Every structure is written in structure tokens, then in C-alpha cells.
Structure 1
Amino acid sequence: MTVTGGTAGQLVPVLEDLLGTELPIRLRTWDGGEAGPAGAPLLVLRNRRALRHLLWRPDELGLARAYVAGDLELDPSSDLYELLGAMARLVEQSSSVTLRPNPRDLLGPQGRRLLRTAVGAGMIGPRPPLPPEEATRVRKAGVRHSPQRDRTAISHHYDVGNDFYRLVLGPSWVYSCAYWPTGTDTLEAAQAAKLDLVCRKLGLRPGMRLLDVGCGWGSLLLHAAEHYGVEGVGVTLSAEQAEGARERIADAGLGDRLTVRLQDYRAVDDGPYDAISSVGMAEHVGADQFRRYGTTLYGLLAPGGRLLNHQIARRPNLPGEPYRTSPFIAAYVFPDGDLSPIGDTVSLLEQAGFEIRDVESLREHYARTLRCWVANLEQDWDRAVKLSTPGRARVWRLYMAASALAFEENRIGVNQILAVRTGPDGDSGLPAARAEWLGFQQGPAAPEAPESGAPSA
């Protein structure tokens, strides 16, 4: 271990004593002290408030609050992904250790040492204010997954500025996993390939009626209308997304064929549709609402119609192990969001009446997509901060980079499920072979898009 004194030199030995192992990171404190394993990624504590965040919430949420508030820094000379991986190991190591012992525990030598260090480092004190980016207002907006609370939760995540999202996502303005066939080198080309993949799986043809649930900024609707000749309706709960999508549709001269509504999917009543796409939306539905989600979409499809459900999935619980959502994600990123195992999603769609015809995992594709988004954000960091807030930009950097690691390490996945509402005679309307229906009525090859400025990961 390298030690250069200061508060870090006092703090690290005590933490390692508590954990019973070497820290996976080095610490640098506000007084210039540095301690920890040589060569380990570096975490910078800018002031005593960073320690108070951790005292009051000694887990990933405490670390996140300190970072979002600007009291803790991720050292720019350390690899971001290596540092986040080390922080995750630190959280795991500390999960069985309390940094707030009972008073009786302070009577022993270890307790007295901990107390002296805590007092000397300025850890003892009131809880620091919560960063304003935390989704506290969502919890006050009524019953979980009621229409009002869902609108508030969606607004928290998506109504943070269309220009901010355009900077992060690039010109494609697509906020879901891209598709990287061999030889695809740019984010824009990969997103165009994903949009085309969805359209081909849905078997879109001129004159069809498409419903895009959670339509975002309208990229899929535009692609489907321009390349496949469909008429489309998009629904979203984000006012800013709806405004941005309508502007893009008007600019493309497609206002006579495409409509975007600020509407809950549960309120859509103008079926039947020939095809329904739901890309990156079902994570917001809620586990207790998913059966209703499936039944609603089934009822909106014409017989023979197809649903393409593109959704992030978590790994199943081990026996006796409860499901725990990330406290950081729940508090800052996707309030009220739920991830379900792919098997549960398939079963619930079947219970709603669908026949499942295809499941494709895109896990590695999402990791690469997220790394591109992080690169876009970092390359234009100052503008991103001006378009939102310093805290919001930090939230997005942290969650996107951590999510990339989660996909790479197979802790979460993402899948496209193609489901069909079969006709009265059981006809699915699909060609006999998967290779045939995947290319069925294929539109023109998506053009190679210009570089977005983000390197391929």
C-alpha cells in the first residue's frame, strides 16, 4: 500500500481493518493525502461532505450522492470502467459491515480507533442535502404505476432537455440498444440497422398501421414511414419527446401519415393496428402491471398482427434470494422502473394470448451502444452541463458507464421478443423459415450514416 499521509493515510488503514481485506481503490482526500494499493484506480474525496454521504448511506447510493453533488470525483487519469468496477467491489465488500456501529461497539480498541478517525476526518455531522436531481417528487405523486405517478416518473427521466439527449444519443436520436452487425463501425449506422431490424421483424408493408408504444423522439416511426410506407401512431408520456417527435415529423413532410400523442398506452383505444412496436418502454410498466400491458397490446392488434417487444431483462433470483433493484437507479435514473427475467416476460405475454415466435438477445450490442453514449457525453461535457445541470450530467455518465459494465458482465441483458396474435384458424402469417420472415418485405438497406463523433467501443 502506498501512503502519503493526510486524511487518506488515516482513513484507509481503518477501512481495510473493518473490511478485513485490501481496498480495491486508492483514496485521495481534500488535504492532499493519498493511500491505497499501488496502481489501483483513484477516487478523490473533495471535502468532508463526501464522507458524510457515506456515513449516512454506506452503499452505492451514498457513493452516487457524493458524486452527483460534486463532493466526490472519479479521477480522470484512471480508466472510468475500471474505477466503476472497483467501486462495485468495494460496495460488495462493505455490504456486511456497518459504518455506524452501536455505541457499545465503540468501547473496544477497533471502535475507539474508528471513532477517532471519523471525528478527525469530519465524518460526524448532519446528513448533507440530497442532490436536487434525486427523484424525490415521484414518490409523492400517488400510487405506484398510477397514470399520474407514471407521468411524473417518465418526466423525471425524459423531460431534461431535447438538446441534451441529442448530444448524448447523436443524430439518430434513438434511446435504446443499437444493432451492430459485423462491419458496422458507427453508432448512427448501428441505430439505423436496429430500426430496420425491428421493421423487418414486424413484416411492415405499405399501407399498414403501426403503433409505437413509448415512441421517444419518433425515429422508428420516421424509419418505418420512409422505408416501409406505413401509417403510424406514436404514444409517449414525455411532453418534450412528443414535441421533438412532432417537429421531426413535420420537417420530414410526413404529418399526413404519422401522429404522435401525449398518451398513456392504457388509454389507446383506436385499434386495431397491423403491428405494434415497444422498444425500451416495458421497463417502465411495472412487474404488477405487465399482464395488463400484454393484454392491452393484444387487444389493439388485428388478428395476424405482430408485436416486437424490446426490453432489458435481469437475471432470475436464486432460491430464497429477494430481488433488489439498484438504489442509485431507482433514486436517480428510472424511478419505479422494474426489470424482469426474460422467462417471466415470455410467460406473461403468452398468458395475454400471444404466440411467441422469436427471441433474440442483444446483450453485447447494448454494452457497445452505452460506451458510445458515454463517449458522446464526455466529448462535449461542458455543453452537456450547460444544457442540463452538473448533477444531471454526472448522473447520466455514472448510470450509462455502470450499465455498460452490467451488460458486459452478464448481470443484465436485453432481448427482442416477436409475438403474434394468431388468426382464428391459428395462422401466424409468418413464412416457414426464420431466415425468410426476417427478410420478408425487406426495405432498402439502411444508408451508412455519417460519423457522430463517438468512437466504436
Structure 2
Amino acid sequence: MTVADRLLRMFTLLLGEGPPLRVRGWDGSTAGPPDAPVVDIRSRQAIRRLVHEPNQLGLGRAYVAGELDVEGDIYDVLDTLSVISGRQVGAVDKASLLKEATLLGAIGKEPAPPPEEIHLAGAKHSRDRDKAAISSHYDAGNEFYRLLLGPSMVYSCAYWAGPDSSLEEAQRDKLALICKKLDLGPDSRLLDVGCGWGSLALHAAREHGTRVVGVTLSVEQLDLARARAAEAGLSDRVEFRLQDYRDVTDGPFDAISSVGMAEHVGDEMYTAYCARLYDLLRPGGRLLNHQISRHPSHPPSNPSFIASFVFPDGDLAPIGTTVDLIEGAGFEVHDTQSLREHYTTTLRAWSANLDAAWDRAVKLTGEGRARVWRLYMAATALSFRYGQIGVHQVLAVKRGPGGASGMPATRKAWLG
């Protein structure tokens, strides 16, 4: 039996019976149907990782370290392998994995995690730890993110109004949709929580004359956001701060946007998060909370590649839980819009940008970090595609005197 034959038996144990797979071993041997997706096992180190962590974390570590690779479109390979399913390997299969690894000479001490794996210190969701968690992801370098995201510098789900839209147009339409939902105008004051590189704040100021305070915990985001505001001549209407949302004290605001930020808040802090935003709004003010959700039937994987390499301390909740918590703080939810399919398209566009400039991305951030992004975007796109996770815009209002919401009678004001 060749190395590849044994590797194929290991992957069948790891992933379960399913679509065919072709495996290439470190000795050049191959096994499996010739037209099946190919997994290239370059080192016994990959097998050691899988023996110790026979799950998505073990696979992810081996991929990031370059000990395991795939051939062809990574989406097709992951889709075929169902790597994102979070399958748990039972005791019998673990014993069989150990036997095959022994025969391959791949038994040994678990290799150290790749340096790209994130390890945080301090109390979970303390201000210092939250800042470190944000920095670990968003301070990967502004040039790297420009390569990935394109000129819009928007790192959240785009709004694809038509099949021929470009990424830039879809992000512009998303920003416009948010501003319409919040009913922004020249007399409005907006708080943008987790403002990123400032794209929503700048759009609101430029297109609606809105005065905006944007807060972020990323130093690199802050520097670029301020530079973009100065270049656009909008520094008099937009103020960017390196500040935790919990430390904002200069309310009330007419509107609050939180786009792709609430996933970082954590289950333990979500009630306090909603209460803080409620306190910062004036009566009649609106909140737009744009957040990834998980389907109730798809609990989080533990251990998780995403939590270990991409978004440490982040949590995803079902949309029903999120709506309950927002209304529990005193808000009245008026609209919930799913953009799940839109995020699949957005992630594919970002991945295309990454692949088109792969050598530049590796030069900017290192091969391991670039491989983290390639794997996480492909796996996440498939999770959106199959409905394991979703993304929703929740529009809520802080009722005014007498219970008045000030909201229009229909959605026509923002959806047309």
C-alpha cells in the first residue's frame, strides 16, 4: 500500500464517506479518482497535526503552515470535502487514524501552531483584550486590505443590486442603503461604531452632509480614515477616534450605525452593548445593526479555525436572539433584511482580488497570513451559500414621547 493509499484512508476517516477525493503524498504517490479534487500532503507534519486535532483546526493549521495544499479552485475542493461541516471524529475513527499515522511514520509530538495563530491574554472582552483582538486582524496592513477590498475599502457584505454590478458599485449601493434606512441628512449626527477605514462615514458626510463620529480600535484603520477625510475635504464634518464604543460619552446622536462590528462584542457583552447604544441615541433616533448570524441548527465549531486564526473572541448568534437583545434594551425593531446570498458574492469578489495579486499579498503580509485569508474567505463563502451562517441588517428605533417612532409607514423610503 502506497503513502497516498494510507492518506486517502485517513481522509475518509476524517471527513466521512462522501464525494470522491484524490490525494498526493509527500513521496509523489497518488490515490483516488483522477478527476477528483486533489489534496496535496507535503509533509508528515500535516498528519501529526491531524492526529492531535482531527478537525477543521488541524486541517487549517496544516494548510496555513504549507504542509497541506489543494489543487484547483479552493472553493470546489472545500465544497467537495465538506471541510466546513464541523464533523466530529468518534473514538473508533480516531483509533484508526492513529493506526494509519503509525504506519506512515507520522506519530510524534504535536507540532507548534503556525505563528499566524492568535493567542490573547487578559480577561475576555476587557478593553485591552478587545483592542488586541481587533489589532490582530485589522492591523494586517492598509496596503494588504486595499489589495483585498479594492478602492471602496469596505470590509463588510456588499449589496448587489444587479448581476452586472462591480464590487465597487455594490459597496457604494450598500452604503447608500444604510444611509437611507437611517434617514441621514445635513442636520443629522451619526455615530459609526467600528468605522473601519471610514467609508460609511465619508459617504454619509459627502452625500448627505451628515456630521459623523467614527470610532475604531485599529490604529492603522484610524490613520487611513483620517487621511481619506483630509483628502476628501471632509475633516470638518467627520471625526475619527481611536476609542472603544463603551467610552463614547458625547451623545445623543440622531443615528447609530454598527456594520460588521457586533460580531466582536461577544455573547457576554451583548446586552451591555445594546444598552450603551440605546443610551447614546436621542428619542426618535435610529440604529442600523449589520451583523453576521448563525443558523440555530448550526452551532459553533469547537475548536474553530476562524476563532483561532481570524476573529478571536468573536461570537455569532441566531438572528432571533439578536433581535430579542436589541428590543430588550428598549429599541423597537422595524425592519430585518437578510443579505446572505450577497455575502457569498462579496467573498468571491474579495477572493478573486487576493488570487489576482497573490504574490503582492504574500510580500505584504507573509505567505502564512495570506493563506489564512484564502482559506477563511473560501470556507466562509460556502457557509453563507449553504445557510449555515447569514447576515442581517436590523433597523431599530428609540421611541420618542408617546411611543412615537417617527418611522415611515412602509419600506418604500429605503427599498423603493
TM-score, normalized by length of structure 2? 0.95
Give the match for residue 450 of structure 1.
Answer: none
In the alignment, which residue of structure 1 is the partner of 2:313?
Answer: 336
Paired residue type of 1:415: H
Deviation at 1:68, TM superposition (A): 0.2
Q: CA deviation at 1:96?
A: 2.5
1:127 Cα deviation after fit: 1.4
Once residues 16 and 311 of structure 2 are traced to their aligned partners in structure 1, the CA distance between those partners, rounded to angstroms, is: 34
- The 1:183–1:46 alpha-carbon spacing in structure 2 relative to 1, beyond 3 Å, is closer
**In 1: Cα distance, 2:302 partner to 2:102 partner:** 33
After superposition, residues 23-422 of structure 1 pair within 5 angstroms as 24-75=20-71, 78-88=72-82, 95-97=89-91, 100-101=94-95, 115=99, 117-136=100-119, 138=120, 140=121, 142-317=122-297, 323-324=300-301, 327-422=304-399
Query: What whole-Å deviation, never above 9, does each CA across 1:146-185 have from its counterpart, x for those lacking one?
Result: 1111111111111110100110000000000000112542
* Separation (CA, whole Å) in 2 of partners of 1:296 and 1:196: 26
Deviation at 1:434, TM superposition (A): 1.6
Q: Determine helix, strand or coil for the equivalent of 1:276.
A: strand
Q: CA deviation at 1:428?
A: 1.2
Q: Name the SS for the 1:425 alignment partner.
A: helix
Q: Contact (CA 8 Å) 2:265, 2:314: kept in 1 or not?
A: yes
Distance in 1 (CA, whole Å) between partners of 2:68 and 2:414 is 52
Once the two structures are superposed, residues 82-119 of structure 1 have per-residue CA deviations (whole angstroms, 9 ceiling, x without a partner) of: 21123325976662256653xxxxxxxx79xx63x423
Shift of 1:17: 7.3
Secondary structure, in 3 states, of the residue corresponding to 2:158?
Answer: coil
Q: What CA distance in whole angstroms lies between the structure 2 residues aligned with 1:239 and 1:89? A: 34
How far apart, in 1, do the equivalents of 2:15 and 2:274 lie?
A: 46
Q: Deviations over 1:393-412 (max 9, x none)?
A: 00000000111111111111
Matches of 1:248 and 1:83, distance apart in 2: 39
Q: 1:325 to 1:302 in 2, by over 3 A?
A: farther
TM-superposed CA distance for 1:244, in Å, is 1.0
| Mapped partners of 1:90, 1:196: distance in 2 | 33
The structural deviation recorded for 1:22 is: 6.2
CA shift in 2, pair 1:218/1:57, >3 Å: same
- Count of residues in correspondence between the two structures: 416
Q: Distance in 1 between matches of 2:385 and 2:279?
A: 36
Any gaps of 5 or more consecutive residues in structure 2?
A: none
Does structure 1 conserve the Cα–Cα contact (< 8 Å) formed by 2:78 and 2:84? no
Identify unmatched segments of 5+ residues in structure 1. 102-109, 440-457
SS of the aligned residue for 2:101 comes to helix
> Post-superposition shift, 1:253?
1.1
Q: 1:218 to 1:95 in 2, by over 3 A?
A: same
Q: How far did 1:10 drift? A: 3.4
Q: Distance in 2 between matches of 1:431 and 1:18?
A: 53
User: Where does residue 435 of structure 1 map in the other structure?
Assistant: 412
Tell me the SS of whatever aligns to 2:360: helix
Give the AA of the match of 2:317: S
CA displacement at 1:257 relative to structure 2: 1.0
Q: Deviations over 1:412-456 (max 9, x none)?
A: 1000000001111222112222213556xxxxxxxxxxxxxxxxx
Q: For 1:199 and 1:90, locate their aligned partners in 2 and report how far apart those are by CA, in whole Å.
A: 35
Using the alignment, how far apart are the partners of 1:262 and 1:362 within structure 2?
29
Work out whether residues 28 and 43 of structure 1, in 8 Å CA contact, stay in contact via their aligned partners in 2.
yes
Separation in 1 of the partners of 2:9 and 2:114?
A: 30
Q: What is the TM-score normalised by the length of structure 1?
A: 0.87
Could you tell me which amino acid in structure 2 is paired with residue 327 of structure 1? S
Offset at residue 387 of structure 1 (A): 0.7
- Counterpart-to-counterpart distance in 2, 1:202 and 1:18: 48
8 Å Cα contact 2:334/2:397 also seen in 1: yes
RMSD of aligned residue pairs (Cα, Å): 2.1
For the 8 Å contact 1:306–1:418, the answer to whether it is kept is: yes
Contact 2:383 2:389 (C-alpha < 8 Å) held by counterparts: yes
CA distance in 1, matches of 2:180, 2:302: 34
1:425 equivalent in alignment to 2:396: no
Cα deviations by residue, 1:317-336 (Å, 9 ceiling, x for unpaired): 48xxx654561011000000
Distance 1:367 1:204, change over 3 A: same
TM-aligned CA deviation for residue 20 of structure 1:
7.6
